[in-house]
């Protein structure tokens, strides 16, 4: 029974309260579920991970007026009704609700929200495709670099140690997705990936790329077991190992490794020495002007895209 | 008389109210001044543009305890007392104030704030160094790429059309500074550069790089008069002119132009067709994963750094 025939009209109903509470870390842990707000994120959840979507809540008028709306007069409502259509097709349980109920669920819902199962979505290391897993031994050069990681010879992992700011965490997941990373790893004590602000900031990328959580030791053991060198992104390096400039790294042979993991540090403190000494490379972004540094989100975007573009050029 | 002997202790004093009001666009226009909050921004204002700094407000205990603080016990207070020292050396008028007064001036002051003259800081097109202005005809390759735009053969301008979000505006100024841009241009109707959130988000870069404001026609006339091609950063392009992929552009001859201006569009709407047709190139960042797009701040960082690194590699 994928479409609930009953209209949710009571903002104080127990179901509505339970959904709204998922903004809260404790409630998420207890329920094993998290909240996805707004059309872009909900659309990607429904399109990419329908099996993980437990319930979808949508403003009632949309489904009723879908035909009338198809004239394109109400873009936002039309977008929602299309998501509902996809969701119903995938067997997702859809609830129509009043605007008041949607507002109570989340002030960021823009008329649509979904509840997603953490376990169903949560990836473990097995979710990542490594170069040695790839059966395709076709040697013909593939000149179409547009449709994602399958076309890359190299597997790139984006890893973040102790990232704490939800907005940053979401933005770096989005950048890692866009740069074609095979996975994102949150290393050590990071912000909860299912925090609503993280989910919103990924703009749907949370449903495109596996996001793993690991301890520091586990991360280094995991990368080692896959012959995947770790490249620490760091401005200072250690006394023994000064950072290599990103353009020098990109011109060197190391960029051609079949797999690589780029590890970024905490927003304020970067990477500590005990982490840096375990990395195979330390690479810094050159500062050509007078700015002291770049923030985490900017550094990650520049570093990941430079490596991705360099790797794709290399394969052409 | 650079150090005001009188301690500002009344949060309701007229002077304090006038300073706090600079958070407000109307008050900034009336006063011709803007507010700079927090140690990092104030330090850069005092270090790079002391003539533009009208007044500096600092928590009183610092100056009094400077000697005692020099043991490094109180990092934040020590940082402030060093800024005060530089300011006094540069003839800036310094006011000591109680923590209550500083809090009234701004909740983001962290014990230090400055009032800066808009006209004194505001740059016009003449502030930009173009390749044909450079007297130095020394042909010896300069392998030290660390100290800024003077070492670049190419002049790069970062331009933003109708950027509206203050956080974005500040972040892109910071990225443009770090990438060694000779200037930032806000084209057409953009957010006020002197909005406190913009100023904070630049992390001091507002005092490193000239930030100009121009109308659209003026921008294209100005770049044309300097033989500076405009590269529009856009995902869609026009029916006649599809965007070139960034890696292709970087490998092509156009990247070697002595000057270039990279123009980014509005956060939500990008660049309209009537702007795109005036640009010499349209370039897009390739998306290797499933993300739909990158946000403005991320796009600008990736594009500007890719061009800067490519240009620096080219000159080595």
What is the DSSP annotation of B178-191? HTT-SEEEEESS--
Q: Of A62-71, A278-287, B16-25, B26-35, which gets the smallest average pLDDT?
A: A62-71
Instruction: Give the residue on A whose Cα is nearest the Cα of B151.
Output: A288
Name the residue with higher pLDDT: B255 or B31. B31
Closest CA to A175 of B268, B301, B172: B301
Q: Does residue A147 contact residue A180 with C-beta atoms inside 8 Å?
A: no
Mutate to test the interface with B, among A147, A302, A306, A316 (most CBs of B within 10 A): A302
pLDDT confidence band for A142 (50 / 70 / 90):
very low
The reported pLDDT for the residue numbered B254 is 72
Nearest-CB residue to A179 (from B208, B289, B295):
B289
User: Using CB atoms, which residue from A174, A251, A288 is nearest to B179?
Assistant: A288
Average pLDDT, chain B: 88
Please answer yes or no on whether A289 and B178 come within 8 Å at the CB atom: yes
DSSP A254: G
Average pLDDT of span B228-250: 95
* pLDDT score of B147 more than 50: no
Higher pLDDT: B253 or A206? It is A206
The gap between the terminal CA atoms of chain A, to the nearest Å, is 50
pLDDT for the residue B122: 81
DSSP code of residue A147? S
Chain-wide mean pLDDT for chain A? 88
Instruction: State how far residue A300 is from chain B, nearest Cα, in angstroms.
Output: 9
Judged by CB atoms closer than 8 Å, whether chains meet at A298 and B146 is answered as: no
Q: How far apart are CA A109 and CA A270, in angstroms?
A: 34
pLDDT value of position B136: 47
In this complex, do B246 and A204 lie within 8 Å of one another by their Cβ atoms?
Answer: no
Inter-chain touch B145–A294, beta carbons under 8 Å: no
Taking an 8 Å cut-off on Cβ atoms, the answer to whether A313 and B288 are in contact is no
CB-nearest to A287 from B178, B285, B289 is B178
Contacts of A149 in chain B (CB under 8 A): 288-289
Closest CA–CA distance from residue B113 to any residue of chain A (Å): 20
Residue B137 has pLDDT above 60, yes or no: no
Nearest CA in chain A to B206: A291
As given in the structure block, the two tokens for residue B106 are: 């701004």
Q: Where are the domains of chain A?
A: 3-121, 126-315
pLDDT at B183 over 80: yes
Least confident of A59-73, A214-228, B15-29: A59-73
pLDDT at position A149 is 39
Residue B85 has pLDDT above 50, yes or no: yes
pLDDT interval class at A145 (50, 70, 90): very low
- Which chain A residue shows the shortest CA-CA distance from B48? A290
**Minimal Cβ distance to B305: which of A208, A209, A302:** A302
Flag whether the ipTM exceeds 0.85. Answer: yes
B contacts of A40 (beta carbons < 8 Å): 292
**3 state DSSP class of B71:** coil
Could you tell me what percent of chain A has a pLDDT over 70? 86
Q: What is the pLDDT of residues B102-129, one digit of tens each?
A: 999 999 999 999 999 999 988 776 778 8
Backbone angles phi, psi at A130, to 5 degrees: -100, 155
What pLDDT shows up at residue B41?
Answer: 96
DSSP-derived secondary structure for A67-115: HHHTTSS-HHHHHHHHHHHHHHHTT-EEEEE-HHHHHHH-TT-TTEEEE
Q: How confident is the model at residue B3 (pLDDT cuts 50, 70, 90)?
A: confident
Evaluate if residue B146 carries a pLDDT over 50.
no
**From the CA of A146, how many Å to the nearest CA of chain B?**
6
Pick from B202, B255, B300, B302 the residue to mutate for testing the A interface (most A CBs within 10 Å).
B302
- What's the average model confidence in pLDDT over A224-235? 96
The mean per-residue pLDDT over the stretch B59-71 comes to 60
Average pLDDT for A95-121: 95
The yes-or-no verdict on residue A62 having pLDDT over 90 is: no
Lowest mean pLDDT among A68-77, A253-262, B6-15, B27-36: A68-77
**Predicted pLDDT at B69:** 54
Contact at CB, A295 and B171, closer than 8 angstroms: yes
B55 or B257: which carries more pLDDT confidence?
B55
Tokens 């977008």 label which residue? A79
Residue A227 predicted with pLDDT over 80 = yes
The CATH number that domain A126-315 falls under is: 3.40.1280.10
The shortest C-alpha distance from A203 to chain B (Å) reads 8
Residue B142's pLDDT is 43
Say what the pLDDT of residue A127 is. Answer: 79
Mean pLDDT, rounded, for A266-274? 95
Residue A258 pLDDT grade (very low, low, confident, very high; cuts 50, 70, 90): confident
Which of B75, B248, B290, B295 would best serve as a mutation to test chain A binding (most A beta carbons within 10 A)? B290
**Cβ contact (<8 Å) for A312 and B288?**
yes
Q: A33 and A116 in contact (C-beta within 8 Å)? A: yes
Quickly state the pLDDT bin for A154 (edges 50, 70, 90): confident
Nearest Cα to Cα of residue B101 among B28, B40, B18: B18
Q: Strands (DSSP E) along A73-229, which ranges?
A: 93-97, 112-117, 155-161, 183-187, 211-214
CB atoms inside a 10 Å sphere around CB B274: 9
Q: What is the pLDDT of residue A71?
A: 55
Please report the pLDDT score of residue B70 as a whole number. 54
Q: Any idea which fold A3-121 has?
A: 60s Ribosomal Protein L30; Chain: A; (3.30.1330)
Question: In chain B, which residues have their Cβ closer than 8 Å to the Cβ of A285?
Answer: 178, 305
User: What CATH fold (topology level) applies to the domain B125-315?
Assistant: Alpha/beta knot (3.40.1280)
Kindly state the percentage of chain A with pLDDT values over 90.
Answer: 75
At A146 the pLDDT is 40
- pLDDT at A108 exceeding the cut of 60: yes
CA distance A279 to B238: 45
Residues with Cβ within 8 Å of residue A169, at least 6 apart in sequence: A160, A163, A186, A190, A191, A193, A195, A198, A201
CA distance A49 to chain B (A): 13
């Amino acid at each position: 029974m994928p479409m609930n025939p009953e209209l949710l009209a009571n903002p104080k109903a127990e179901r509505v309260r339970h959904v709204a509470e998922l903004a809260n870390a404790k409630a998420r842990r207890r329920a094993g579920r998290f909240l996805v707000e707004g059309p872009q994120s909900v659309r990607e959840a429904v399109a990419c991970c329908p099996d993980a979507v437990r319930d979808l809540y949508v403003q009632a008028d949309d489904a009723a007026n879908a035909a009338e709306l198809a004239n394109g007069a109400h873009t936002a409502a039309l977008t929602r009704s299309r998501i509902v259509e996809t969701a119903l097709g995938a067997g997702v349980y859809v609830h129509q609700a009043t605007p008041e109920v949607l507002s109570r669920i989340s002030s960021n819902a823009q008329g649509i929200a979904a509840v997603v199962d953490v376990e169903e979505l949560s990836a473990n290391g097995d979710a990542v495709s490594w170069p040695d897993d790839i059966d395709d031994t076709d040697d013909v050069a593939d000149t179409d670099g547009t449709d994602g990681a399958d076309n890359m010879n190299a597997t790139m992992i984006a890893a973040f140690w102790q990232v704490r700011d939800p907005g940053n965490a979401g933005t770096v997941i989005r950048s890692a997705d866009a740069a074609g990373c095979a996975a994102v790893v949150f290393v050590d004590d990071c912000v909860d990936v299912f925090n609503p602000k993280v989910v919103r900031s990924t703009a749907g990328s949370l449903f495109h790329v596996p996001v793993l959580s690991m301890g520091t030791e586990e991360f280094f053991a995991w990368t080692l077991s896959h012959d995947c060198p770790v490249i620490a992104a760091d401005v200072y390096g250690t006394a023994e190992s000064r950072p290599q400039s990103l353009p020098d790294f990109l011109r060197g042979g190391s960029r051609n490794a079949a797999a690589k993991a780029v590890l970024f540090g905490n927003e304020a403190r970067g990477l500590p020495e005990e982490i840096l000494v375990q990395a195979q490379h330390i690479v810094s972004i050159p500062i050509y002007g007078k700015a002291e540094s770049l923030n985490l989100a900017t550094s990650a975007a520049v570093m990941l895209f430079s490596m991705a573009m360099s790797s794709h050029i290399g394969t052409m």
